[in-house]
Chain A
């Protein structure tokens, strides 16, 4: 089982430090969510784990440091989905999902029978079989998010890094996608690290939250410890109510302040 451990991870772009000595532990089979305002360093942290940006400090997968691993080896261990994945125009859904098998295919080679079976299983699991021949750009938002997830699953890695996997979806599809990720986590023993903007969803789905602000880890722990009204005010400059509803977890509700008096009312018909 491959857990993920970051210690003292620092990333700088052109001399500007965007992630500063962060320690994060993601135990195997758990779901940890990175939260924090825009520019906090959530995406940078995910990219550092995926080997897409250089870092100092250590990142270990199952106890082995990622520095020195080949790109191919790392991509067998870690699948990364950016916030806005590129969907190549004209590519069929099954060809797109097959791209996930790249770390196992010889450099100039082509998919083996085993690769094709894995792709088929993933398509089946994510209910994409009926869409396998469709062009990827013709899918709806929810369907294409499932196709993107299918590509990551086809990669067969135990660690899934998802950058805002629900940012383009409506509330219903947000819930469905996150529930699907959670089912897959349990079923296939995945370790999940996501960046999430929606604090309520982050608290509901992740067992552990990591709050970053300006590249620094400012708080971590279960949702009840991290999501306090004061802390959200301090780091997001947002006025919220945090409601703890029995059975439904925490709900973070933004409160409108300074409402203007001349708001035009819409008359009832």
Chain B
């Protein structure tokens, strides 16, 4: 602390996540999760759900009064679905935020470099040519989608490199556009050859969490943990990247290395998310931007908050997707856009008035 005269002056701290904000976002996530767990075709009371949770704590023994069937609905259907929605939403939002930072492009989303097209091709191949998916130890569909996604981004990266040898942001984005167009064309061709699976592919592309259980959760959890933690490590460096590649380099940060690491982490996480949920659009763009409009442009805030609010957003979107036309389900990608876009416009207009 440096004193000015007799009055000590508090040295300003860099933008950071304050404890109050952490408590708030955790509260929002918990509340959405609780709502997601309680609402559904079979009504479960708040008290019974809490008692079920308490019962699982070692040393506590309470009876929730739920029947075996109700308990199974809670533990085998609702909770894994809510957990998965949270993981996917958090991952898509933080990846979108990281992509926007590393490419300095507000329209960047996690699907920018070919993740979506690659996953789409992988999923289409699996649906068209591996029709009997029952005999496999693990469902091949998410594995094929994951492999396609990682392959798509890898090809983009290799092409982006050979064009300039320096991974310039614009070159990478252009390479991504070309790769995505090629993969999508291939996917469409395969789809045309296999019209009997058309509906299944289309449903997958629009995104769904309807078939999930704990298997999917355990499948993507390691990726989400590693990618999420990895991206959070880069929160200050993403602020540094804001001054442009050359100036970032001049303060000792290799911008190409930061970009490679961030793209790799975001791609792994997004590919895992896409593999189990299909292509859920819009989350990676509106969640980070809504946070940016309210809390400012520092990635030290945007990255961790995107993780939390992205999770809450997708949990609620999934809740809407499965309850509005119950027992039928609306594709979750339709919900995220239908409710996300007006919400985003509201935040946008409010932020304009504030400034």
Contacts and interface: CB of A to CB of B under 8 A. Distances in A.
Interface of A: 47, 50-52, 70-76, 78-80, 82, 85-92, 94-96, 98-100, 102-103, 105, 107-111, 113, 116-117, 119-121, 124, 132-133, 155
Contacts of A79: 250
B251 interface: yes
B218 interface: no
A105 B233 CA distance: 13
B251 A100 contact: yes
A103 B236 contact: no
Contacts of B239: 88, 91, 95, 99
16 contacts: A52-B246, A73-B252, A74-B252, A88-B242, A89-B297, A90-B298, A94-B14, A100-B251, A102-B240, A103-B251, A103-B252, A109-B236, A110-B16, A113-B11, A120-B2, A120-B9
Contact of B15 (A87, A95, A102, A109): A95
B100 to A, nearest CB: 12
Nearest to B253: A102
Nearest to A80: B250
Contacts of A133: 12
Interface string B145-176: 00000000000000000000000000000000
Interface string B8-51: 01011111100000000000000000000000000000000000
Contacts, number: 97
A132 B15 CA distance: 12
Given A52-B249, A85-B247, A108-B233, A95 B14 contact: yes
A85 B236 contact: no
B300 to A, nearest CB: 8
A90 B246 contact: no
A92 B15 contact: yes
Contacts of A105: 236
Interface in B263-288: none
A74 B244 CA distance: 18
A98 B292 CA distance: 20
Given A95-B15, A117-B2, 14 more contacts: A52-B246, A71-B252, A75-B251, A75-B252, A85-B247, A86-B242, A87-B243, A88-B297, A92-B15, A102-B240, A116-B11, A119-B12, A120-B9, A155-B251
Contacts of A119: 11-12
A103 B253 CA distance: 8
A120 B237 CA distance: 21
A98 B14 contact: yes
Given A103-B251, A108-B234, A110-B14, A91 B246 contact: no
B296 interface: yes
B254 A116 contact: no
A100 B250 CA distance: 9
B250 A99 contact: no
A132 B246 contact: no
A162 B11 CA distance: 28
Which are the 6 A-B pairs with shortest beta-carbon distances? A90-B297, A88-B242, A75-B252, A72-B252, A86-B244, A103-B252
Contacts of B246: 47, 52, 82
Interface in B283-315: 292, 296-298, 300
A193 B15 CA distance: 33
Contacts of A107: 237
Given A72-B252, A75-B251, A108-B233, A132 B296 contact: no
Contact of A91 (B2, B237, B242, B254): B242
Nearest to A109: B236
B210 to A, nearest CB: 38
Nearest to B234: A108
Contact of A88 (B237, B243, B253): B243
Contacts of A80: 247, 250
Contacts of B247: 80, 82, 85-86
Contacts of B9: 120
Nearest to B15: A95
A71 B254 contact: yes
Interface string B177-208: 00000000000000000000000000000000
A120 B250 contact: no
Contacts of A78: 250
Given A88-B297, A89-B297, A132-B12, A75 B250 contact: yes
Contacts of B240: 99, 102
A52 B251 CA distance: 11
B249 A71 contact: yes
A76 B252 contact: yes
Contacts of A99: 239-240, 243, 251
B292 A121 contact: no
A128 B52 CA distance: 57
A51 B244 CA distance: 16
B73 to A, nearest CB: 43
A73 B250 CA distance: 11
A110 B297 contact: no
B290 to A, nearest CB: 14
Contacts of A124: 2
